[in-house]
Amino acid sequence: MKEKLLLGIFFILFSGIAAGCGNGGGSGNSSEDAVELEMYSWRTEDRSAYEEIIAAFEEENPDIKIKFNPFEATEYNTILTNALVSGTGPDIVQLRPYTGARTIADNGYLVALDDIEGLDNFDETYLEAAQGSDGNTYGIPLSLNIGLIYYNIDIFNEYGLEPPETWDDFIAVSQELKNNGVTPLSVGGREAWLLSMLHGVITPTAYGGNDFVEDITEGEADLTDPRMMESLDRMEELTEYIADDFMALDDADSTALFYTEEAAMYVNGDFQLEVLENSNPDLSIGVIPGFKEEGSDDPLVMNWVDGSYGVVEGTEHEEEALKFMEFMASPEFGQLFTDNLTRVSAVEGVTASHDIVKQIMEASEANSTPYLMLVEYGLGSPSTKGIFEDGLQGMYLGEITKEELLEQSQENAERAAEEGVEELEMIEEDE
Amino acid sequence: MAKNKRKNRYKKHLVHLFILPAALIYGVFQLYPLISAALNSFYSFNGFERVDFIGFQNFITLFTEKPYKDFFLNAFSHNWIYFFVTVITQLIISLILALIIHSKIKGKEFFKSMFFLPKLLSVIVIGFLFSLILNPTRGALNTLLEAIGLEAFTRPWLGDMSTALLSVIFVDSWASIGFSMLIFLAGLQAIDKEIFEAARIDGANSFTVLFKITLPMIGPALMIMTVLTFIGSFETFEYVFAMQGSSGGPYYSTDVLTTFFYRLAFGTVDGGQAIGLGSAVAVVLFIIIGMATSLILFVFKRKDFER
C-alpha cells in the first residue's frame, strides 16, 4: 500500500515537471486566421512606441499580427545567436550594425532584401550597415545615431561665447570657460566606448574626414597613418579641458555633470537627448553637430546606423515578413519612428518636429562621415574598436604612448581581418 | 518472511527514483554545460557554430599569440592579487571580528547581524552604491577624507590604475566578510570551554591561548575558508563586472580571468565572439582552481596528521 503511494507521488511530481518542460515548445500558430510574426529587438525601453508603430501596420494588413519581443540589450547577442543556431527563432530580428549583421548574414541566417520596394529611400552608405560579404543587403536600417557636442546655452551666454564651429574655436571657447572656473567638457572616461565616441566626434577634421575613411576602406592607409596620429594629438590636447579625474567617471556621472550645469559641454550620441531633457527640464540645451573643415560651410557630422531589421531565412512566413520590411523602408514608417521616439530615422526625407532633432538631422544630411571605429573596426574578438578605446584609457592614464596605441590597434586589425577570412572560408566549406 | 524481505528491497530501490528529477536538472544545467565547454575548447568556430576539431590549437593561441597571451597573464596576475589581498581584507579581519564577537562583549547578536547584512544585498546594488561612494568629486569617501583634513589621500579610486583593483577587492570583502565571520564563529563556538579554563589555570596568556589552542582548534574552518577564498578569487566576476565593466577598466587594470573569458566567449556589444578561445580560458581556469584547491587541502590535511 505504502509503496504504491510513493510510486504515485513520484509519478505525479515527475509528470508535472515533464509537462512543464513540454509546454514551452508548442506555441506559434494562433487560432485565428492571421499570421503571427515574432520580432526580436534589444530595445526594451521602446516597447510602447513600437507597439504604436506596429498597430499602424496591422491596420493596413489585418491578416498579419506582429509580436514585438524585446530582450535586455546586454543579453541580446547571446539570445539571438542561440535562437538562430537552434532554429526555433523569430521571424524578424534586429541586427547589430556592420560587423554584427555581416556575421549573421554570412552564416546564411538571413533573407536577402535587395528586391524590397523602398530600398532606394536609403543612402547607400546606410545600407552598408546590414550587408553581407557578398554585397547583398540583409537588413532595413532603422535609425541613425549621431555623435554630438552638447552645450549649455545659459553658460555660453553668461560668458558671451558663441558655439564653436572649428577645432580652434573649440579650444578658444574651452580656454575661456576654464579661465572663468567652469569645467569646459564632461566625458565619462571609465566607460571606454565613450572615448571612442569622443574620438569620433572631435577628430574627423583632424584625420581628414571622408578622404581618410576612403583610404582605409581601399587599403591605402592604416591606423599607423600620420593622419591618425594627428587625431590622437587632438585627443591629448583636449585633456586639460575635460573634467578633473574624468577617468573615474562613468556615463551617468558625466551626464550628471552636464545636466547639473557644472560642465558647459558634453559629448555623447543624440540618443542621450531624451535623458538630458528628462533629468533637468530647465536645462537650455544646444548642440554642435561637428566641426567645419577648411573651406566647407557645413560641419562634418559623425553618424552611424544603429541597428537594422532583417528576416530570418527559413521562416514559414517569409512573404508576410517581407511585407513588414517594405513597411519599415517606407517614409511613413520613418515618420512614425521619428515622431514616436525622437530619434533620427534612416529613411530619407523624414522631418522631425523636435527642434534639436531637426537641426542634427539636417546637419547630418548636409555633410556626414561614418563613425570610423565602429564602421571599419568592429571586426574580431577582441574587436579593434575595443583595443583602440581601451588603449585610449591607457593613453590618458599615461600607461602607453600614442604610437603604441596605434601600433596595437593596427596589429589587432590585421589579426581580426585574418580571422574574418578564416571564418568565411569555414562557412563556405560548410556549404 | 521472504516475501516481506523482497518487498522491503523493492521499497528501498523505489526511493532511488526520487533523485531522478534532481539528477536530471543537475545533468542538464551542470554536467552538460561543463562537458560542452570542455569540448568547445578543442574546436574552431565560425562565429556561430562549431566547425572543426583542432586539438589544442585554442590553448596554443591563448598562450602564445598576441593580444591573448598578454591579456591572459595580466588577468591571471590580478587573480593572484585578488586572492592575497582578500586573505588579508576578508579572512584575517573576519577572524578578528569572530574572535571579538566570541569574547564577552555586549550586543553580540546585533554586531553579528550587522556584519552579515551586506551579504543580503544584490551585487549590482552594492556595485552601484560603491560607485557613488568612490566617485572622485561627489563621492562620500573623498568628501569624508577632505572633511577630516586628509586631502592628500583623496584619489579617483575607480579611475586610477593603482587603486581600481584594490577598491573592487575592498568592496567584495566588505560584502562577504559576514559570511566568513559566521563560519569562524561556528568553529569557535564548537571548542569546549573547559580547554580554555585548563589553559588559564596552567598559566597560558592570551597570545598562547590564541596561537596554541584557538587557531589549531578551528583548523577545519580555516581550511574551508582558505579554499573558498581561493575559489572565490579566481572565479570572481560580479564585482568587477558591476563596477568596471567587462573590459576590467581602466585599461585592463581590474581585468580578471572571468571577465577575459566573458569578452571572448560572449563578445562585446560591437565585437565578435570567440567561443573556442573563451572555452579554453574556462578550462584553464577549471584546472587552476582544481589543482590549487587540492594543494591547499593537502597542506592542511598533512598538518592534521602531524598533530
Give the closest residue to B97 by CA, choosing from B174, B166, B206: B174
Q: Which chain B residue shows the shortest CA-CA distance from A13?
A: B21
Q: pLDDT of B230-265, one tens digit each? A: 999 999 999 999 999 888 889 999 999 999 999 998
A263 inside domain: yes
Give the distance from residue B229's alpha carbon to the nearest chain A alpha carbon, in angstroms: 28
Give the distance from residue A46's alpha carbon to the nearest chain B alpha carbon, in angstroms: 19
Give the distance from residue B116's alpha carbon to the nearest chain A alpha carbon, in angstroms: 29
Over residues B99-119, the mean pLDDT reads 88
Over residues A201-216, the mean pLDDT reads 94
Domain match, A161 and A242 both: yes
Domain match, A112 and A185 both: no
Task: Identify which has the larger pLDDT, A155 or A34.
Answer: A155
Q: What is the pTM of this model?
A: 0.86
Q: Is A379 on the interface with B (CB under 8 A)?
A: yes
CB contact residues (below 8 A), chain A span 8-37, against chain B: 10, 13-14, 17
Q: Is A386 on the interface with B (CB under 8 A)?
A: yes
B25 inside domain: no
Instruction: Share the mean pLDDT of chain A.
Output: 88
CB contact under 8 A, A3 and B10: yes
- Here the CATH number for the domain that contains residue B76 is 1.10.3720.10
Domain match, A167 and A291 both: yes
> At residue A193, what is the residue type?
W
B205 inside domain: yes
Q: Which chain B residue shows the shortest CA-CA distance from A42?
A: B269
Complex-level ipTM = 0.85
pLDDT at B219 over 80: yes
A93 inside domain: yes
CB contact under 8 A, A96 and B270: yes
Lowest mean pLDDT among A14-18, A292-296, B182-186: A14-18
A2 inside domain: no
Q: Is A381 on the interface with B (CB under 8 A)?
A: yes
Contacts of B151 in chain A (CB under 8 A): none
Q: Is A411 on the interface with B (CB under 8 A)?
A: yes
Contacts of A386 in chain B (CB under 8 A): 247, 263, 268, 270-271
Domain match, A130 and A244 both: no
Closest partner CB to B272 (pick from A6, A14, A379): A379
Q: Which chain B residue shows the shortest CA-CA distance from A393?
A: B251
Residue A226 confidence (pLDDT): 95
Residue A380 confidence (pLDDT): 85
Over residues A371-375, the mean pLDDT reads 92
Closest partner CB to A244 (pick from B137, B157, B247): B137
A389 inside domain: yes
Closest partner CB to B66 (pick from A191, A390, A411): A411
Task: Identify which has the larger pLDDT, A286 or A33.
Answer: A286
B28 inside domain: no
Domain match, A248 and A381 both: yes
B33 inside domain: no
B142 inside domain: yes
Over residues B205-217, the mean pLDDT reads 87
Residue A26 confidence (pLDDT): 38
Domain match, A215 and A295 both: yes
Which residue segment(s) compose the domain that B112 sits in?
Answer: 66-306
Closest partner CB to B67 (pick from A77, A412, A427): A412
Domain match, A92 and A207 both: no
Highest mean pLDDT pick, A178-187, A334-343, B16-25, B129-138: A178-187
Q: Which chain B residue shows the shortest CA-CA distance from A109?
A: B48
Domain match, A225 and A153 both: yes
Domain match, A43 and A112 both: yes
Give Cβ neighbours of residue A382 (< 8 Å, ≥ 6 apart).
A412, B67, B71, B263, B264, B268, B271
Q: Which chain A residue shows the shortest CA-CA distance from B275?
A: A381
CB contact under 8 A, B136 and A245: yes
Domain match, A139 and A155 both: no
pLDDT at A29 over 80: no
A132 inside domain: yes
CB contact under 8 A, A248 and B136: yes
Optimal mutation site among A80, A239, A381, interface B, most CBs of chain B within 10 A? A381
- Here the CATH number for the domain that contains residue A193 is 3.40.190.10
3-state secondary structure chain A: CHHHHHHHHHHHHHHHHHHHHHHHHHCCCCCCCCEEEEEEECCHHHHHHHHHHHHHHHHHCCCEEEEEEECCHHHHHHHHHHHHHHCCCCCEEEECCCHHHHHHHHCCCECCCCCCCCHHHCCHHHHHHHECCCCCECCEEEEEEEEEEEEEHHHHHHCCCCCCCCHHHHHHHHHHHHHCCCEEEECCCCCHHHHHHHHHHHCHHHHCHHHHHHHHHCCCCCCCCHHHHHHHHHHHHHHHHECCCHHHCCHHHHHHHHHCCCEEEEEEEHHHHHHHHHHCCCCCEEEECEEECCCCCCEEEEEEEEEEEEEECCCCCHHHHHHHHHHHCCHHHHHHHHHHHCCEECCCCCCCCCHHHHHHHHHHHHCEEECHHHHHCCCCCCCHHHHHHHHHHHHHCCCCCHHHHHHHHHHHHHHHHHHHHHHHHHHHHHC
How far is Cα A334 from Cα A343, in angstroms, rounded to an integer? 10
Contacts of A408 in chain B (CB under 8 A): 67
B3 inside domain: no
Share of chain A above pLDDT 70, in %: 92
Residue A6 confidence (pLDDT): 56
CB contact under 8 A, B156 and A247: yes
B26 inside domain: no
If one counts the domains in chain B, the total is 1
Contacts of B247 in chain A (CB under 8 A): 192, 386, 390
Domain match, A166 and A137 both: no
A365, A380, A396 - which closes a domain: A365
Burial B128-154 (b: 16+ CB within 10 A, else e): eebbebbbbbebebbeebeeeeeeeeb
Optimal mutation site among B251, B259, B260, B266, interface A, most CBs of chain A within 10 A? B251
Q: Is A415 on the interface with B (CB under 8 A)?
A: yes
Domain match, A150 and A191 both: yes
CB contact under 8 A, B247 and A390: yes
A9 inside domain: no
Q: pLDDT of B138-185, one tens digit each? A: 889 999 999 999 888 888 999 999 999 999 999 999 999 999 999 999
Give the distance from residue B149's alpha carbon to the nearest chain A alpha carbon, in angstroms: 20
Contacts of B134 in chain A (CB under 8 A): 248
Which residue segment(s) compose the domain that A283 sits in?
Answer: 145-301+369-422
Contacts of B71 in chain A (CB under 8 A): 382
Give the distance from residue A292's alpha carbon to the nearest chain B alpha carbon, in angstroms: 29
If one counts the domains in chain A, the total is 2
CB contact under 8 A, B269 and A74: yes
pLDDT at A105 over 70: yes
User: Residue A91 — pLDDT band, cuts 50, 70, 90?
Assistant: very high
